Amino acid sequence: MKVTDPIVVARDLCKDYVLDGHDIHALRAVSLSVQPGEFVSIMGPSGCGKSTLLHLLGAVDVPTSGELRLFGRDLIGATDAIRTELRLRHLGFVFQRFFLLPMLTAGENVALPALEARLPKTERDARVREVLTTVGLAHRLRHKPGQLSGGEQQRVAIARALVNRPQLLLADEPTGELDEATGTQIAQLLQSLHTAGVAIVLVTHNPELAARASRRLRMRDGHIEAES
Amino acid sequence: MIGFLVLRGLFRHRARTLLGVAGVGVAGALLLDMQMLSRGLQSSLHRILDQLGYEVRVTPRGTLPFETDATFPGGHRIAAAIAADARVVRVAPIVGGTVYAARPSGVPVAAFVYGMDPPSVALWRVTEGADLGFADSTHTVVSRAMADALGIAAGDTIFVAAEYTSQVGMLRSPRAYMVCGIAHFQFDLRAQRSLAVGTQQAQLLRGEAARDGLSLIAVALHDQGSTKSSTGAAMSAWIRSTFPEVEAYSVAEALDTVQGQLTYFNLFSLVLGSVSMVVCVLLVGTLVALSLGERLGELAILRAIGLRRRRLVSLVFLESLSLVVLSLPVTFGAGLVIARWLDAILTRAPSIPVDLSFFVLTPRAVLRTLVLLLVCGALAGLYPAWLVARLRIAPTLHREVIG
């Protein structure tokens, strides 16, 4: 794969499932590509398929049909082990709910992906400090999630997503549970990560946050309606 | 990493973990007790038999030692023939049976007489006064229960006879003995009244002198280390074939015979042990599955950030095993206390030898309990591990966000 090749290539992605006996067409022939370092935002009404698309791009779900390549690797028919390895080494996830493990400190939460990636302890500790410094929480290393504000917890979650130095950060409503001021801080942080060269795909309802992206997509009824 | 997550997870729900540990500990204690019970009597009997230092016991045909009052004739001739074997160190001819004893002009009481010549067999241990002499014809050693029943002490004289005419309250052809000591008799039942005299005296008392009747010949073999039990088996086989009128048991054969009569205890321990294992599996499985249900979102996140499926399966398995391991101090502490308590209750039964124990802690019982509990932990982890293995990340995250 060349440095300039798209890191995400999706063609005619469809995702159908059955809910309470009804066939749901969550995605209908969605095509999308993301370049290295690109900042893409996806907006749209609830239930339009934004999160479903993000889950497919994040290799946590499989499309019903279509083509999907991540970092040059074909994900259709890929084993769970390959998908897991992709998530571990190349992707970072940030969710609306922070999903930090409450019994671990901020540092330990951030260190989890690095532990799984078997980074040596010295390098792991250095990375944890580095990413917590990036999100402005180096002083909160030993605090547990319950001792942190919502904004701080989300920043810890972002640090966790960054610790293995992913090329692509996937963020699903990262400011959805935060007040406006804290949401702005998170938006600025994402912007600075983009500036630092991390590609970002952001799902949001927040037009101001979406406006920070270099490419903005609007979804409706399972397909991309508009792009700007 | 997994161990770290497991410990933090268990610590996170301290009250639940403590309750689980207590529950598994109690179930484990019952399992330990059943392991102790399943071989307890046999082990206890083995210990007592070993203490005596005799590898082979010769009894009347078809009986166990002192199972009945039966004797076999020509006892000393058989004993001498056995003693002539090169494998034999010494033999001890013993007579046992029911007699009656009374103080002068006192009311007779039934008692068990051991007739043997010290120091050849240590069936008793003198606790007060002195022991019998070799071929002693004038003294007797009595049990504490016997001394209490007759109100006698060392130095007193008692009359002993094989028969008692209840209509006139008199012993028939009594023999007088001076009590030289009070002793603890190893095979006595609780509150059993016993006395010991020389072999020949016991034969005279029981009318066995003319036929030289003996109840038991205890045979000590040369110490041949690990081959002693096989030598014992060979010796007993030789005795059975040479003297068809007697039965012969090595210690191992005697224990096997006793074990056959203890099927009731084996079944009892099997059933209760199995029940405790089922309880343990259900308890651990339920706790881990419940805890899992509350953490599905967390687990989905761990998968989403790149933790491998087998890592989470190991996490759940280790949680199950950790609950079992953490409960081990409770298992062994409570198990030993309950065993001692039950043993005290059971050995109060009148037909149980005083020195016998039902619950014996052996390395085998400890090892089996450990292995079975770990198996329980692993079995309990199967269902939660299956749930984790088939966890679908996207729907779980979706549910968590909507929820």
As a whole-number percent, the residues of chain A with pLDDT over 70 amount to: 98
Q: Using one digit for the tens of pLDDT, what is the confidence trace for B140-175?
A: 999 999 999 999 988 899 999 888 877 766 888 889
Query: Tokens standing for B337?
Result: 């206390």
Residue A93: strand, helix, or coil: strand
A135 Cα to chain B: minimum distance (Å)? 18
Task: Give the span between the Cα atoms of B38 and A128, in whole angstroms.
Answer: 56
Beta bridge mates, B163 = B172
Q: How many CB pairs under 8 A join A and B?
A: 74
All residues of chain B having their beta carbon less than 8 Å from the beta carbon of residue A91 are 306
How wide is the angle at C-alpha B112 spanned by C-alphas B42 and B148, nearest 5°? Answer: 105
Task: Give the span between the Cα atoms of A222 and A47, in whole angstroms.
Answer: 8
Nearest Cα to B123, choosing from B201, B187, B214, B41?
B187
Backbone angles phi, psi at A174, to 5 degrees: -70, -15
Mean residue pLDDT of chain A comes to: 88
Name all contacts of A131-134 with Cβ < 8 Å and 24+ positions apart.
A131/A159, A131/A160, A131/A162, A131/A163, A132/A106, A132/A107, A132/A156, A132/A159, A134/A159, A134/A162, A134/A193
Across the 403 residues of chain B, what is the mean pLDDT of every consecutive 10-residue run? 80 86 93 88 80 85 77 90 89 90 86 83 83 83 92 90 78 88 85 90 88 89 66 87 88 80 82 93 92 87 91 91 94 95 83 79 93 94 92 85 58
Of B8, B311, B398, the CB nearest to A104: B8
In chain B, what are the helix, strand and coil shares in percent, each to the nearest 5? Answer: 55, 20, 25
Q: Using one digit for the tens of pLDDT, what is the confidence trace for B184-243?
A: 988 888 778 999 999 999 999 888 888 889 988 989 888 655 556 677 888 889 998 998
Question: What DSSP character marks residue B133?
Answer: P
- Residue B263, pLDDT score: 80
All residues of chain A having their beta carbon less than 8 Å from the beta carbon of residue B388 are none
Q: Please, are residues B300 and B393 in contact by the beta-carbon 8 Å criterion?
A: yes
B387 Cα to chain A: minimum distance (Å)? 16
Query: How many CB atoms neighbour CB B372 within 10 A?
Result: 21
Positive/negative CA dihedral, B15, A140, A60, A201: positive
A26 Cα to chain B: minimum distance (Å)? 13
Chosen from A52, A64, A93 to mutate, greatest number of chain B CBs within 10 A: A93
Interface of B with A (CB under 8 A): 1, 5, 8-9, 11-12, 297-298, 301-309, 311, 392-394, 397-398, 400-401
The HSE-up count of residue A209 (CA atoms within 13 Å, CB side) is: 27
Q: Using one digit for the tens of pLDDT, what is the confidence trace for A71-103?
A: 888 988 889 999 999 999 999 988 888 889 888
Whether residues A88 and B306 touch (CB distance < 8 A) is answered with: yes
All residues of chain A having their beta carbon less than 8 Å from the beta carbon of residue B297 are 97, 99
Whether residues B11 and A97 touch (CB distance < 8 A) is answered with: no
- The 3-state secondary structure of B64-123 reads CCCCCCCCECCHHHHHHHHHCCCCEEEEEEEEEEEEEEECCCCCCEEEEEEECCCCCCCC
Q: What is the mean pLDDT of residues A114-125?
A: 92
- Residue A83, pLDDT score: 93
- Residue B371, pLDDT score: 96
DSSP codes of every residue in B189-216:
BTT--EEEE-HHHHHHHTT-TTTT-BSE
Query: Tokens standing for B85?
Result: 């074997």
- Residue B120, pLDDT score: 62
- Is residue A138 over pLDDT 80? yes
Whether residues B301 and A99 touch (CB distance < 8 A) is answered with: yes
- Is residue A11 over pLDDT 80? yes
Chosen from B17, B397, B400 to mutate, greatest number of chain A CBs within 10 A: B397
DSSP codes of every residue in B24-40:
HHHHHHHHHHHHHHHTH
Q: Please, are residues A41 and A213 in contact by the beta-carbon 8 Å criterion?
A: yes
Chosen from A85, A115, A144 to mutate, greatest number of chain B CBs within 10 A: A115
For the question of whether the overall pTM of this predicted structure is more than 0.95, the answer is: no
- Is residue A128 over pLDDT 80? yes
- Residue A179, pLDDT score: 80
CA–CA distance from B221 to each of B14, B57, B70, B399 (Å)? 59, 11, 25, 77
B313 Cα to chain A: minimum distance (Å)? 14
Chain A nearest-CA residue for B301: A99
- Residue B229, pLDDT score: 65
Whether residues B8 and A89 touch (CB distance < 8 A) is answered with: no
Residue B284: strand, helix, or coil: helix
Q: Please, are residues A218 and A225 in contact by the beta-carbon 8 Å criterion?
A: yes
Whether residues A60 and B303 touch (CB distance < 8 A) is answered with: yes
Interface of A with B (CB under 8 A): 51-52, 55, 58, 60-61, 80-81, 84-85, 87-89, 91-93, 95-97, 99, 101-104, 112-113, 115-117, 160-161, 164, 172
- Residue A1, pLDDT score: 58
CA–CA distance from B341 to each of A12, B130, B338, B346 (Å)? 74, 35, 5, 9
